[in-house]
Amino acid sequence: KNEVEQSPQNLTAQEGEFITINCSYSVGISALHWLQQHPGGGIVSLFMLSSGKKKHGRLIATINIQEKHSSLHITASHPRDSAVYICAVSLSNYKLTFGKGTLLTVNP
Amino acid sequence: SAVISQKPSRDICQRGTSLTIQCQVDSQVTMMFWYRQQPGQSLTLIATANQGSEATYESGFVIDKFPISRPNLTFSTLTVSNMSPEDSSIYLCSVGDGWEAFFGQGTRLTVV
């Protein structure tokens, strides 16, 4: 079974700070996903990665396949970025294994 | 890409009743999955919804409690039966298309 570990569990930042959330997994995967979950429970897909790096606005996601590690970065953080960020990995059959999530709070 | 409509987005239900959650995809997809997220826990796979046959359940989940339908390649339902407060969770539909995975918005269920 693939284990997915995220760190930190909780993160508090001041508006404008650069934020990094880390994700490690234990076995080979076909893709890694970063998801955002808002307090109401709704889940939004941010990125899907199989290699390299992707950027969308102030969000950047990277993955190192050899080290089985991914990072999600948020530049110029804003209070509206406050949410739970979840890392999930998938094998070739699309079944996902999820991390426990990182609760991010950005204070004004 | 696939766009998923999951309904309802939230509900509050009485114990002993059942709730059916719907997942509608805007294109035909081979694989559909249902996940549960209990408070403070990771999302966990309940079952794979198979078109034209019974769903495949993960360890700890049974058909009597979580019956699943998959009448075609664009639609699936998950029913949470005979609910108790322990069923209060977020339920999430996910689909596989090509080699990508897509997600519904989730259903937040509270059982009182």
Chain B residues with CB under 8 Å of A85 CB are none
The pLDDT value given to residue A95: 78
Q: What is the distance between the alpha carbons of residues A81 and A94, in angstroms, rounded to a whole number?
A: 28
Min Cα separation A42/chain B (Å): 5
Contact A5, A86 (CB under 8 A): no
- pLDDT, tens digit, 9 for 90 and up, residues A52-101: 999 999 999 999 999 999 999 999 999 999 999 999 998 766 778 899 99
Digits of tens for pLDDT over chain B (112 positions)? 788 999 999 999 999 999 999 999 999 988 899 999 998 888 999 999 988 888 999 999 999 999 999 999 999 999 999 999 999 999 999 987 766 778 888 999 999 9
Q: What is the distance between the alpha carbons of residues B109 and B9, in angstroms, rounded to a whole number?
A: 9
- pLDDT, tens digit, 9 for 90 and up, residues A3-61: 899 999 999 999 999 999 999 998 878 889 999 988 766 788 899 998 999 999 999 99
Contact B41 A33 (CB under 8 A): no
Contact B99 A30 (CB under 8 A): yes
Contact B106 A37 (CB under 8 A): yes
Q: What is the distance between the alpha carbons of residues B11 and B15, in angstroms, rounded to a whole number?
A: 12
